[in-house]
Amino acid sequence: MAIDLNKVRNIGIIAHIDAGKTTTSERILYYTGKIHKIGEVHDGTAVTDWMPQERERGITITAAAISTMWKDYTVNIIDTPGHVDFTAEVERSLRVLDGAITVFDGVQGVEPQSETVWRQADKYKVPRIAYINKMDRTGADFYMSANSIVEKLGGNAAPIQIPIGAEDKFIGMVDLVTMKSMIWDGDGLGAEFVVGDIPEDLVEKSKEYRANLIEKLADFDEAIMERFLDGKDDFTEDELRKAIRIGTIAGKFFPVFCGSSYKNKGVQPLMDGVGYYLPSPLDVPPVTGTDIDTGEELSRKPDNKEPFSALLFKIQPDPYVGKLSFFRVYSGTLKTGDSVYFSRKRTTERIGRILRMHSDKREEMKEICAGDIAATVAVKNASVGETICSEDKPILLETITFPEPVISIAIEPKSKEDEEKMGIAMGRLAEEDQTFRIKTDEETSQTIISGMGELHLDVLVDRLKREFKVQANIGQPQVAFRESVKKKVEQESKFIRQSGGRGQYGHVWITVEPQELGKGFEFVNAIKQGRIPKEFIAPVEKGCREALESGVLAGYPIVDIKVTLFDGAFHEVDSSEIAFKIAGAMALRAACKKASAYLMEPIMKVEAVMPEVNMGDVIGDLNSRRAKITEMGNRGNVRFVKGTVPLSEMFGYATVVRSISQGRASFSMEPSHYEEVPSNVSKTVIEKRTATPA
């Protein structure tokens, strides 16, 4: 069972929507012998897109995990979604991966969601190699795309391959490490390619780009720098590969590959690159966590002899076993039948089965070792971000953080039977997806579900109907507005009740002031000389926090404020926790009314791509939606427009942009920030909300 950890690669495939991640995954599975027939996204036959919703829409919704072998490497691959609505899938995957392939469209180069996934990978310090795909498409430009990685992402990237031909003349590439060409013959399955000399017309260009590569490597490899400065180019393949690997693992360098996954050209050299340049579990720093009792920092090395530790990063429904819990093992080993400790919940549970996953297929394992990724079934305490470890040496690993939802809809079951099924179904969906939230509107008793976008909610509602057989009526999408304040105010509040016998008494003085956007809520205890006893401070904070949930303008949550409790009074007999909690809530609400409360709305980053003839219409339409245009330019033979626009103005935009461009324009959108709603719009929102709540 023991495997050589040096030969293990845990990688993700990340990219903008429609850059070719899933197509690339399918080719990898085919060339590694996992499948014997290549599936296609547009046919709905891709192995990693196994959900009905994925196959119908031709997009990836859930990150699929696959284990395979390439030459003598064990490769665990996670194919992630490109659509921003499912960004949580990328986030959770990057948290447990050692390396990534970032796929770029050879026509578009760096696109908006490319930037998002690149920053997510930066956040988790994930080394990556870049793969410029779709070199067969009309308008493909390898050099523009490679430059866009440097210019737009700030990545120290350089090609280690250059293409031979482009568009319909694309036949292969020159490897700048070996200085050999790789040429595929025709449009077959691409399993065979011919290694030979560099075509004469590319010899000078190859030398130029090899010199550029060596110059980049010299920045962090002293041995190469000395010989490079002496004007030498006698580096062996092993020397260059070693330098590229060191730079890639350190995050100082990003090697750039090229190919056409759809035309079956370039995937095998890309997989060689995974082995050569991406880290094994031994190449990444030991995982750190904390002692659950003392809070001191602990670390676990990727070694089978270390105490067992793993992180649960995904929960997925399964028609045969109920629920699959995916985990990454950081240290030690886990055998079938072992008991493990859940650090956050402080409970112990026995692991009945261990599975190695191949998308929706599975292989039973008796043991799983450090550095590997696997799944288990029917674990009661499983939750995303939970640490599982050995009970005698517990550790708490850093959990996974997820963005807040920006859009909501009301949902009502059609019958009593549907109501019961809906409660169970939504609980299961929320367990799987941390960006899906459920709450009940107190004023209307409606169930409100929230997510990352229209598509996200559309897919969740579709799953409710198909998987859980819940029939429901759906309301119009609602934007997740927020409230905040503009100025600092002081506020006194007393809660006094006398009804014979012991009464209630709580008296507080607080200040409420605005914080910078995105900073959230802060509570400061500035009580001196025991004006309020310690045991009543926490209830005041709790009362303030509860009052934040329903704002003073239109009932939206209040955010980005600082509350300071600086004075008050108590009664020896009548004061209680509940009295101070109510006094705190009353004080906060009264203060917000005096502090110039205002509405905030989610603002989206938008990029539209269209032929030049449609540019005026697209810009005019965006301006009518309160957009602020920030950039316009050319990308190959198309034009692009970037800007920011309120989410509330963008419902149904996909249909409109297709209509005004005869289907030739496309757009992408992702959350950017919150900002103040203009007064005329704010007035309309408040009137609508207070007239017909939620």
Tokens of 693: 């709540």
**Residue 627 forms part of a structural domain:** yes
Distances (CA, A) of 55 to 46, 143, 358, 367, 451: 8, 33, 17, 33, 21
178 in the same domain as 275: yes
349 near 379, Cβ under 8 Å?
A: yes
- The 3-class secondary structure across 208-237, one letter per residue, is HHHHHHHHHHHCCCHHHHHHHHCCCCCCCH
Residue (of 387, 385, 381) closest to 291 by Cα position:
387
- The 3-class secondary structure across 163-182, one letter per residue, is EECCHHHCCEEEECCCCEEE
> Which range marks the domain in which residue 551 is found?
486-596
490 in the same domain as 625: no
CA–CA separation, 63 vs 23, rounded Å? 14
- The 3-class secondary structure across 477-512, one letter per residue, is CEECCEEECCCCEEEEEEEEECCCCCCEEEEEEEEE
CA–CA separation, 214 vs 228, rounded Å? 7
Tens of pLDDT, residue by residue over 105-157, are 999 898 877 887 888 888 889 999 999 999 999 899 999 999 999 998 888 89
CA–CA separation, 473 vs 411, rounded Å? 6
Which of 283, 302, 332 is the endpoint of a domain?
Answer: 283
Task: Work out whether strand 157-159 and strand 638-646 pair parallel, antiparallel, or are unpaired.
Answer: unpaired
326 in the same domain as 279: no
Please say if the pLDDT value at position 56 is more than 80.
no
Q: For 175, how many CA atoms within 13 A lie in the half-sphere containing its CB?
A: 19
Which of 571, 596, 621 is the endpoint of a domain?
Answer: 596
CATH number, residue 246 = 3.40.50.300
Contacts for 449 with CB less than 8 Å, ≥ 6 apart = 408, 409, 411, 426, 436, 437, 438, 457, 460
Confidence of residue 253 (pLDDT cuts 50, 70, 90): very high
422 in the same domain as 366: no
For the ranges 75-89, 217-231, 336-350, 526-540, the lowest mean pLDDT is seen at 75-89
222 in the same domain as 146: yes
Contacts for 305 with CB less than 8 Å, ≥ 6 apart = 332
Tens of pLDDT, residue by residue over 399-443, are 877 777 878 888 988 888 888 888 888 888 888 888 888 888 765
The percent of residues above 90 in pLDDT, for the chain, comes to 39
Output the furthest CA–CA distance in the chain (Å, rounded): 101
**Residue 56 forms part of a structural domain:** yes
Tokens of 79: 């194919």
The C-alpha R_g of the chain, in whole angstroms, comes to 28
Q: Is 559 strand, coil or helix? A: coil
**Residue 466 forms part of a structural domain:** yes
Residue (of 249, 255, 57) closest to 161 by Cα position:
255
Complete DSSP assignment for 503-547: -EEEEEEEEEEE--TT---EEEE---TTSS-GGGHHHHHHHHHHH
Q: What was the pLDDT predicted at 48?
A: 52
Beta bridge partners of 350: 339
CA–CA separation, 410 vs 239, rounded Å? 61
- The 3-class secondary structure across 362-413, one letter per residue, is EEEECEECCCCEEEEECCCCCCCCCEEECCCCCCEECCCCCCCCCEEEEEEE
The percent of residues above 70 in pLDDT, for the chain, comes to 91
Q: What was the pLDDT predicted at 693?
A: 47
CATH number, residue 632 = 3.30.70.240
**Residue 25 forms part of a structural domain:** yes
Residue (of 92, 61, 76) closest to 29 by Cα position:
76
Q: Which residues of 652-689 are buried (b: 16+ CB within 10 A; e: fewer)?
A: ebeebbeebbeeebbbbbbbeebeebeeebbeebbeeb
The count of residues in the chain is: 694
Region of residue 116 (phi > 0: left; psi between -120 and 50: alpha; otherwise: beta) = alpha
- The 3-class secondary structure across 136-173, one letter per residue, is CCCCCCHHHHHHHHHHHHCCCEEECEEEECCHHHCCEE
Average pLDDT, the chain: 86
Which of 369, 397, 425 is the endpoint of a domain?
Answer: 397
Contacts for 278 with CB less than 8 Å, ≥ 6 apart = 9, 11, 98, 99, 100, 127, 128, 129, 248, 249
664 in the same domain as 524: no
CATH number, residue 430 = 3.30.70.870
Tens of pLDDT, residue by residue over 278-310, are 999 999 889 999 988 888 899 999 988 999 999
Residue (of 231, 278, 252, 239) closest to 158 by Cα position:
252
CATH number, residue 508 = 3.30.230.10
**Residue 53 forms part of a structural domain:** yes
CA–CA separation, 421 vs 203, rounded Å? 67
CA–CA separation, 246 vs 237, rounded Å? 14
627 in the same domain as 579: no
Confidence of residue 694 (pLDDT cuts 50, 70, 90): very low
**Residue 213 forms part of a structural domain:** yes
Please say if the pLDDT value at position 388 is more than 80.
yes
Tens of pLDDT, residue by residue over 181-224, are 999 886 667 678 899 999 999 999 999 999 999 989 888 888 88
**Residue 352 forms part of a structural domain:** yes
202 in the same domain as 246: yes
631 in the same domain as 604: yes
133 in the same domain as 184: yes
Domain count, the chain: 5
Q: Is 127 strand, coil or helix? A: coil
379 versus 58: the higher-pLDDT residue is 379
Mean pLDDT, residues 580-594: 95
Beta bridge partners of 413: 472
CA–CA separation, 42 vs 55, rounded Å? 8
661 near 610, Cβ under 8 Å?
A: yes
624 in the same domain as 539: no
Confidence of residue 35 (pLDDT cuts 50, 70, 90): low
Please say if the pLDDT value at position 42 is more than 60.
no
Burial class of residue 294 (count of CB atoms within 10 Å of its CB; 0-12, 13-18, 19+): exposed
**Residue 402 forms part of a structural domain:** no
The amino acid sitting at 640 is F
CA–CA separation, 227 vs 263, rounded Å? 40
CA–CA separation, 637 vs 634, rounded Å? 7
Tokens of 371: 């550095």
End-to-end CA distance of the chain: give it in Å, rounded. 57
Tens of pLDDT, residue by residue over 633-653, are 887 677 889 999 998 898 878
Tokens of 624: 């009518």
Beta bridge partners of 299: 288
665 in the same domain as 588: no
CA–CA separation, 272 vs 73, rounded Å? 10
Residue (of 22, 90, 17, 70) closest to 50 by Cα position:
22
For the ranges 271-280, 315-324, 364-373, the lowest mean pLDDT is seen at 315-324
Tokens of 588: 């906060």
Q: What was the pLDDT predicted at 64?
A: 66
Contacts for 286 with CB less than 8 Å, ≥ 6 apart = 299, 300, 301, 302, 331
CA dihedral sign of residues 627, 630, 635, 637: positive
Cα-flanking dihedrals φ and ψ of residue 207, to 5°? -65, -40
CA–CA separation, 207 vs 174, rounded Å? 11
Confidence of residue 78 (pLDDT cuts 50, 70, 90): confident
Residue (of 210, 235, 219) closest to 159 by Cα position:
210
147 near 158, Cβ under 8 Å?
A: no
